[in-house]
Amino acid sequence: MMRKHVAFSPRLSSPKRFAVSSRTMTALAAVPRARLSFWNKLVYAAGNTGNVIGYQLVTTYVLRLYAPPDDKGTALIPAFLAGAIPTYLLLNLVARGFDTFWDPIVANWSDRSKHRLGRRRAFMIAGVFPLALTAGLIFFPPTAATSLVNVVWLGAMLTAYYAMFSVYVAPYLALLPEIAPDKQENTSLSTLLAAAALLGALGVMVVAPALFLGKGGNDRVELQTMAGALALLSFVLMLLPVVFLDERRLVIRAEASGAEPSHLGLVDSLRATFADRAFLTYVLGYTLYFFAFNMISTGVPFYVEVLMGRPLAEVGKLLGPMFGVAALAFPLLGGLARRFSKKGTMIASSLVFGGLMTLLPWVHDVRLGMVIFALAGVPVAIFMAIPNAILADVCEASTRRTGQRREAMFFGAQGFLQKISLGVSTGVFQWVKDALGSSADKPLGVQVTGPLATAILVLAALTFARYPEARVTKEMEGAG
């Protein structure tokens, strides 16, 4: 077999740093692989349900446990350290500081791995149990009173959780463009992943509170029991793709395709990733959207208890309609993306979701809240499905342009920024609510988070407008 010629430019910062022959690009499109059956798709999607259960558990209920509304229980950590530093924000920044080094290291290891089980599956095996374990342990602080010991515990558990998130989730998502390299196929699989994520979020935010929070969420033991059960379910679901998905059969072999695992070192791989204009534009828009979305997600228990005067167990009354509408919207997303483009759907999603969140300060009736969150179901469905499909396109375009497969670095870089956004947005929410008030008599700190999220979503829409989708599509088709 004739070897495919791949020429590398020594200047990694140049946008044309790699050149790949047209014969290589043709081979990439033509190499046979094992068919991705419906069973394979379900098993792969189950991992996303498990991952989202743990993630949603941490983002929605950790702050509620450690820093409840002013009139809803004893705080387990002081609101501020040294009288001025928001505690939860500081802990998240410390955890993100570790991720600054850890995320790209894991991604680079995975991209360069030649493990016999597969370069993604080996990392998923290593991360699955610690990830589920730390998601549960966060909810079991050493003491039941406000204490610096709890501050240390929470900081350590958050750092461990996000470190294990990198080990499992970045390689898991990196499989998407590898097992579904076709543009329409990865859109279809991304939509299935979004439906799986919706199922996980539904379990955490609607079903579990109804089953476990019989006293309205004010009983700490009930919340801890719920967290333990969800962490166990998360582990079982994340284990399914590890056990049943044969990466070696489903991924195009490097030696047959003309593409190869990355041989770039950590620094060069990072530089090449962030020098990709399509990736940089996309990931900035996604990170801004995620910041706003997570701020709203963190705020839901406070909207229910503080603004609407209802018990925590009734969060399902807001989120049930939203998830129901999102589920109905999923089958339509492929058609929307084809007609208006993935870029166009993300811009519309950002603006519609932002417009709805401006109404939150005036929502005092749970019925009005149900209507607003139901209308938010369509933009939320788009946000859950389309970004992974866009990033899969970016990965495939990069592979065709460079001859190297670096999916884990792309998804790892996104995951790193996602976790920074997650930590900072949750910390900012805590800071705003504690500084401006989070009680029924003084709700301003909860009210302003809606308009704040809107401003960030407008910035996300402006950023998505600069995503070069036409260029990415040409490169995927071998015309770039």
Over 90: is that where the pLDDT of 14 sits?
no
Which comes out higher in pLDDT, residue 78 or 8?
78
- The DSSP annotation for 383-444 comes to HHHHHHHHHHHHHHHHHHHHSEE-HHHHHHHHHHHHHHHHHHHHHHHHHHHHHH--SSSS-H
Q: What is the pLDDT of residue 21?
A: 41
Over 60: is that where the pLDDT of 262 sits?
no
Q: What is the mean pLDDT of residues 424-434?
A: 87
Q: What is the pLDDT of residue 111?
A: 81
Q: What is the mean pLDDT of residues 132-144?
A: 95
The architecture (CATH level 2) of 44-245+263-476 comes to Up-down Bundle (1.20)
Report the C-alpha dihedral over residues 9, 262, 3, 249, rounded to 10 degrees: -160
Distances from the Cα of 416 to the Cαs of 42, 216, 436, 458, 459, in angstroms?
26, 35, 30, 22, 20
Q: What is the pLDDT of residue 408?
A: 75
When pLDDT is cut at 50, 70 and 90, the band that residue 22 belongs to is very low
Residue 159, burial from CB neighbour count under 10 angstroms (0-12, 13-18, 19+): buried
d(CA 402, CA 17): 8
Q: What is the mean pLDDT of the chain?
A: 83
Q: Out of 11-25, 279-293, 399-413, pick the least confident.
A: 11-25
φ/ψ of residue 337, rounded to 5: -65, -35
Q: What is the pLDDT of residue 374?
A: 95
Q: What is the pLDDT of residue 382?
A: 94
pTM comes to 0.72
φ/ψ of residue 6, rounded to 5: -125, 120
Question: What percent of the chain shows pLDDT beyond 70?
Answer: 87
Asked if residues 449 and 427 have their Cβ atoms less than 8 Å apart, the reply is: no
Q: What is the pLDDT of residue 216?
A: 56
Report pLDDT digits (tens) over 274-332. 888 999 999 999 999 999 999 998 899 899 989 999 888 788 888 889 989 998 998 88
Question: What percent of the chain shows pLDDT beyond 90?
Answer: 41
- The DSSP annotation for 230-292 comes to HHHHHHHHHHHHHHH--HHHHSPPHHHHS-EE----HHHHHHHHHT-HHHHHHHHHHHHHHHH
- From the list 377, 363, 369, 373, the residue with the least C-alpha distance to 447 is 363
Tell me whether strands 80-81 and 18-20 are parallel, antiparallel or unpaired: unpaired
d(CA 258, CA 307): 58
The total of other beta-carbon atoms located within 10 Å of residue 157's CB is 23
d(CA 53, CA 165): 12
d(CA 231, CA 248): 29
Residue 145, burial from CB neighbour count under 10 angstroms (0-12, 13-18, 19+): exposed
15-29, 76-90, 361-375, 383-397: range with highest mean pLDDT = 361-375
φ/ψ of residue 80, rounded to 5: -135, 150
When pLDDT is cut at 50, 70 and 90, the band that residue 250 belongs to is confident
Q: What is the pLDDT of residue 33?
A: 52
Give residue 7's Cα distance to chain centre: 35
Over 60: is that where the pLDDT of 127 sits?
yes
Q: Out of 167-176, 206-215, 429-438, 467-476, pick the least confident.
A: 206-215
Q: What is the pLDDT of residue 480?
A: 46
* DSSP count for the chain of H helices, then E strands: 19, 6
When pLDDT is cut at 50, 70 and 90, the band that residue 25 belongs to is very low
- From the list 223, 226, 274, 259, the residue with the least C-alpha distance to 104 is 274
Maximum CA extent, the chain:
76
71-85, 134-148, 322-336: range with highest mean pLDDT = 134-148
Give residue 81's Cα distance to chain centre: 29
Q: What is the pLDDT of residue 402?
A: 80
Over 60: is that where the pLDDT of 377 sits?
yes
21-25, 181-185, 246-250, 398-402: range with highest mean pLDDT = 398-402
The helix or strand, by DSSP H or E, that contains position 7, with its residue range, turns out to be strand 6-8
When pLDDT is cut at 50, 70 and 90, the band that residue 161 belongs to is very high
Asked if residues 102 and 166 have their Cβ atoms less than 8 Å apart, the reply is: yes
When pLDDT is cut at 50, 70 and 90, the band that residue 7 belongs to is very low
Q: What is the pLDDT of residue 315?
A: 84
When pLDDT is cut at 50, 70 and 90, the band that residue 418 belongs to is confident
CB crowding 437-465: b at 16 or more within 10 Å, else e: bbebeebebbbebbebbbebbbbbbebbe
Whole-angstrom Cα Rg for the chain: 22
